[in-house]
Amino acid sequence: MNNQSLPLALRFPLRGSQLIEASAGTGKTFTISALYLRLVLGHGSEQSGFGRELLPPQILVVTFTDAATKELRDRIRTRLAEAARFFRDEISAPDDLINELREQFEAEQWPACASRLDIAAQWMDEAAVSTIHSWCQRMLREHAFDSGSLFTQTLETDHSDLLGEVLRDYWRRFCYPMSGDALAWVRENWSGPAALLPRVRGLFGRDRSTNTQAPAELIEASLLERRAALAALKAPWAAWADELYTLCQDAVARKVVDGRKMQERFFKPWFEKLAAWAADQTQEALDLGTGFTRLTPDGVAEAWKSDPPSHPAFAAMAQLKAALDGLPKPDAAVLQHAA
């Protein structure tokens, strides 16, 4: 078989410094396992092979997390055992790659290959498969004289203290100089740098924002947008509150509504709150209780005995609570800046 027609994992050079670019879900573990099989079997030409057979204690595999380390060790052990059984003709080919790997050896070599794969599978408990940081710690410990480090060291994997220090510095740099609306918003929403930590953790590693504005500018711009959106929501409600109040009063007087669901003692406070909210440019919160559902098309249809009235305010009320909850907030942009 032409070398170029082989899968990458079977022709990839096992000597020198090499790089495979891969992202999530592209088969990294599968490829690493295949390279491991090749190293155990001494597979490859003078150009692509390592030059001699290796066993698990002689092969170093490093990854990022403890969970990934355990998974990788188990997957490699499974692949070694599968390949050993296939080289002995005990099972059919687990996949095309192992089948093509066996084809690279003469049939009389298969029993020896199977034996070596078995030994490697049984030796995986001592294999050098670890996280990057734990491997570095091990090397520092084993070569303490050469590295000038202590024989006993504690590996710090909890970065909360370090992150807390960074966020305190961020707070001093960006939040202390704030004034006006930006400062008022920060005081109201964040008690201090410690309040930022749990919120920025989830943003680490994401693409950085290209916005070059300082946090104070981001907050002020977002608050202006929020006020404009709130004013647009309020604009029709001063008139609508009066119109709906009159409409409901008339309906009660004409007895065209279900008295259990629509009474003046119910709806009068709703419209008073609506009118006050619409008149106050700074008030955001609006608590209508059941009014949020009763003053919608479905709520009106349920309360009227027949022929429920039509008014644009009913459709607007159905969306009002969600619209208030969805008003622009500075949080996302500022947290992205902090991260």
Written as tens digits, the pLDDT of the chain (339 aa) is 456 677 888 888 898 888 888 766 678 888 999 999 999 999 988 778 888 999 999 999 988 777 788 889 999 999 999 999 999 999 998 889 999 999 999 999 999 999 999 999 999 988 889 888 888 877 787 776 666 665 565 655 566 777 778 778 877 888 778 788 888 887 887 777 777 776 776 666 565 666 677 888 888 888 888 889 999 999 999 999 999 999 989 988 889 888 888 888 888 999 899 999 999 988 888 898 888 899 899 988 998 998 899 999 999 999 999 998 888 887 777 767 665
Residue type at position 200? V
26 is in an annotated binding site: yes
154 is in an annotated binding site: no
120 is in an annotated binding site: no
In this structure, are residues 315 and 283 in contact, taking their beta carbons and an 8 Å threshold?
A: no
27 is in an annotated binding site: yes
22 is in an annotated binding site: yes
Residue 126 structure tokens: 């001592």
Three-class HEC string of 225-256: HHHHHHHHHHCCHHHHHHHHHHHHHHHHHCCC
Percentages helix, strand, coil for the chain (3-state, rounded to 5) are 60, 5, 35
Separation of alpha carbons 70 and 21, rounded Å = 22
282 is in an annotated binding site: no
Q: What is the pTM of this model?
A: 0.48
24 is in an annotated binding site: yes
DSSP string spanning 12-56? S--SSS------TTS-HHHHHHHHHHHHHHT-S-TTTS-SS---G
In this structure, are residues 327 and 226 in contact, taking their beta carbons and an 8 Å threshold?
A: yes
202 is in an annotated binding site: no
Separation of alpha carbons 239 and 323, rounded Å = 19
Which residues touch 234 (CB under 8 Å, ≥6 apart)? 277, 278, 281
Residue 298 structure tokens: 């479905």
Q: Sign of torsion, CA 10 15 16 17?
A: positive
Separation of alpha carbons 138 and 196, rounded Å = 34
Residue 25 structure tokens: 């879900």
List the CATH code of the domain at 3-147. Answer: 3.40.50.300
Separation of alpha carbons 179 and 216, rounded Å = 8
